[in-house]
Structure 1
Amino acid sequence: MRVTIDSLEQQIAPLREAMLQAVDAYWPNRMDMHRGELIEAFRKLCIRIGQQQSSGQKAPIAYIHFSFLRTWLLQDRVIYSIEAYDDRWYVDRNECLELLELPWLYPLLQSFKQDLGHALFRQVPDTEIDAIVLREFTVLHQYIREWIRSLVPELIALPEFLAIERADVLRIRAGEFKDFSEQLWMEDCTDRQAAELKSWLEEKRSSDCMNSDLRGLDLSGGQYEGIDLRYSHCSGGDFSGSNFQGSICVGTDFSGSKLTGADFSQSLLYDANFSGCDLSSAKLAEAVGGARFFHEGMVLGFYGIDFSNANLQGANLLFADLAGAEFQGANLSGALILKQDALQWNLSEEQRRSITWMEEDESGVPVPVQVQLRE
């Protein structure tokens, strides 16, 4: 029986979805139960790096990779390697690695493999089944990748990490062993001039700005419309009066930044961190970053947007999709929010009373309205 690509995908799709839902049930609480294992493996790697650097075997570290190992997947084990390289990357032949096994996730992959075998029995050879399993492991990997990303602040705060010699630019990445990987963290200690960086950012060249280290810089008044700043580190900076309209700020960390009057209208803000920010008079109208979005096995939005302890006084949040966002301790006095969103966001009664609630009139123009709140 000849199996077409389309018919094969039709049979795989529901099994992929089942595996996705299974791992999503682990996220994030059950995975966080194992955070100590990851931190300990990283700590051991840093000790190994220090030993090699003390003996002159290892230059300053420029890359740290978390890589899933395909050969182990075929042997019923989910194992990641954690490797350290100097600025030559893969050309660095001085091996420095630790292994991290995640046996608690393998049953999810095993169940997918068994269901795949039943669904495709006698339609494709066993080698093709294995190839499909390896390809679809990315469904699980994306959760592991975000789990690692969430723990990076703890990893880079370890005394063992702080003690190693690091290159001027250090990147922490995750992906397949010596193949495609994605950047989780970037530490840039080069001499950075805010004016030059601002001009570079305003050029908005494709994906060049992704994963940038822009911490603590004055980049106010910038014309960053449509920029892709996903997973960049912008904490403690000054972006007041900047135009980010239509930008991609997925996972961007603006925590503790000055964003007064900044325009994030129609931007993608999944997992963005605005905790402790001054967003007074900012525009977030029609911004998107609510509940997790699933599409063909891929997920967008793992944690939700964080506005905890942010100042959103007078901010425009009309038509913004912020379901599930964290607003604990946020100042929403005079913020413009549609009445229809009143029950969708997790707000305190004090916050609800301070908001300027709006509703569309017959012509579709938002106007202030009264909202009945609990006494």
Structure 2
Amino acid sequence: MNREEILQHFANEVYEPLKHQMLFTLEASFQNRKHALAKTFRNSLEQLLGKVKQMQREGTKQALGYISYSMLRTELANGRATYLVEAMDKTWFMDRHPCRDTYDAEWAFCYLDEWKTELSKQAKKYGGRIGLDDIERMKLHAAMHIHQYIIALARFSITEAWLDEIQLEDVFELRVGEYLDRSEVVYKRDVCVKDSTVMKEWLEEKKPYDYIHEVFRGIDGSQGDYEGIRLQYADLSESSFNNSVFTEGNLIGSCWNKACLQEADFSGCLIQEARFEQANLRGASFRDVIAVPGIYQSERWERPGFQPVSFAGADLTGAQFQGAYLKDADFTGAILRGADFMGAAFEGACFKGAVLDGSRFSLGMHPVVQSLT
């Protein structure tokens, strides 16, 4: 075999199987430790924000437009899993007075180091045709998969409360990415006044990528036709979408907390990681929705596993969940009077303190409800 063929054989027989093994191990660790990891992540953010508060009190720091967590490839190449954390004004990387700190992501990248060691061991079977430079390139390529867990952790960890007492621009983003390269929004705050009519018309255009991570808080988009819309990680909290149609939409990670969604139709939607906490969902339809937690396709790793959907504290009187997949869903304190769960799968779902008077479940599937007290 020539070198190209050897590298391809190594990729198929060694690199890919070991990579998936590593990532599934990391997935299990992340899901088991996510609350403790989130506490550490918030500590790092709190440390940075403490510096920002001091600078803003002294008048040396403008209102924040961005906080970024940046993976540093040079650090990784030197065996350190250090992220650069920066708080910047609206000019982003042009900010002349950024506030900087670091975040140690060793909890995730230690799996990459172990994988590299095993990869090097297997490479020896190829008679020196695969060198240390090849292994290092493979490591840096695989690092992007590990990096996805830093994004997932940031998204799981951040709440608005952590930004109290900080001067922010009307539009503020917390992003995770590579230094001076591509990054992903994990939290966005936008307090600009929005015209509901304009926003509704824009949403009804159902553009494929424009609404992802966008903020639609407090708008009235009722009686809208949003069939098939993609609203991944969009914020629609405290908005009104009564009698609206979202059927077959991609609503992964979207936030609908305290929204008015009476008689809204979410049939056939993807709602993994979505949050409908304290929302008014009277008469809403969630027929055949998919809210699979964890890895969606268990035989192959493609991204970090999803968090369970949450309906905690929501009013779901008369809601329809026939045929829905709601494993591990959170219905804590929800009002589910007359809700229909016939044919729904809700293994591991939490109904603590929920009101289930008159609800319908398939034979033998009625949940045990615990009191909140």
Q: What's the TM-score once normalised by structure 2's chain length?
A: 0.87
Residue 257 of structure 1 deviates from its aligned partner by 1.5
- Distance (whole Å) between structure 2 residues aligned to residue 130 and residue 372 of structure 1: 52
Letter in structure 1 aligned against 2:282: S
Distance 1:163 1:344 in 2: 39
Moved more, 90-99 or 258-267: 90-99
Find 1:331's aligned residue among 335, 343, 351. 335
Matched residues in 2 for 1:13 and 1:165: separation? Answer: 46
Counting aligned pairs with the same residue, the percent is 28
Aligned length: 360
Equivalent in the alignment of 1:64: 67
Partner of residue 113 from structure 2, selected from 104, 110, 115: 110
Partner secondary structure for residue 72 of structure 1: helix
SS at match of 1:134: helix
- Which one of 11, 27, 31 corresponds to residue 30 of structure 2? 27
In 1: Cα distance, 2:79 partner to 2:134 partner: 16
Q: State how far apart, in whole Å, the 1-side matches of 2:320 and 2:200 are.
A: 25
Whether the 8 Å contact between 2:252 and 2:270 is mirrored in structure 1 is yes
- Residue by residue, what CA displacement relative to the aligned partner does 1:37-93 show, whole Å, maximum 9, x if unpaired? 322322232233344445555433211111121111122221111112222222334
Which residue matches 1:287? 289
Q: What TM-score does the superposition give when structure 1 sets the normalisation length?
A: 0.86
Give the SS at the match of 1:116: helix
8 Å contact from structure 1 (residues 170, 186) kept in 2: yes
Matched to 1:307, the amino acid is F
2: CA distance, partners of 1:286 / 1:137: 36
Query: Which is worse superposed, 310-319 or 24-33?
Result: 24-33
Question: What is the CA deviation profile of residues 317-338 of structure 1, one whole-angstrom value per residue up to 9, with x for unaligned ones?
Answer: 1221211211222233332223
* More deviation, 5-14/106-115: 5-14
Mapped contact 1:316–1:335 kept (Cα < 8 A): yes
1:89 maps to: 92
Q: Secondary structure at the match of 2:106?
A: coil
Question: What are the Cα deviations for residues 132-172 of structure 1, in whole angstroms up to 9, with x where unaligned?
Answer: 1122123322222121112211xx424xx433332221111
Give the superposed CA RMSD.
Answer: 2.7
Measured in 2, the distance between the counterparts of 1:108 and 1:262 equals: 44
**2:122 corresponds to 1:152:** no
Once residues 337 and 203 of structure 2 are traced to their aligned partners in structure 1, the CA distance between those partners, rounded to angstroms, is: 32
Give 2:224's aligned amino acid: G
Per the alignment, do residues 371 and 19 of structure 1 end up closer, same or farther by CA in structure 2, a change over 3 Å counting?
closer
Distance 2:8 2:176 in 1: 29
Cα separation, partners in 2 of 1:373 and 1:180, compared to 1, 3 Å: closer
Deviations 1:248-285 (A, max 9, x none): 11111112211111111111111101122222211111
**Residue equivalent to 1:364:** none
Q: Which runs of 5+ in 1 are unaligned?
A: 359-369
2:371 aligned residue? none
Query: Matches of 1:90 and 1:251 in 2, distance apart?
Result: 28
Find out whether 1:139 has 2:145 as its counterpart. yes
Change (3 A) 1:340 1:224: closer
In structure 2, list runs of 5 or more residues that go unmatched.
369-373
For 1:231, the equivalent position in structure 2 comes to: 233
Distance across 2 between alignment mates of 1:374 and 1:34: 31
Cα distance change of structure 1 residues 55 and 31 upon mapping to structure 2, 3 Å threshold: same
- Distance in 2 (CA, whole Å) between partners of 1:211 and 1:348 is 31
Q: Which residue of 1 aligns with 2:316?
A: 312
CA distance in 2, matches of 1:337, 1:83: 47
Question: Which amino acid is the alignment partner of residue 355 of structure 1?
Answer: S
Q: Distance in 1 between matches of 2:164 and 2:366?
A: 50
Structure 1 residue 353 displacement after superposition: 7.1
Q: Which residue of 1 aligns with 2:213?
A: 211
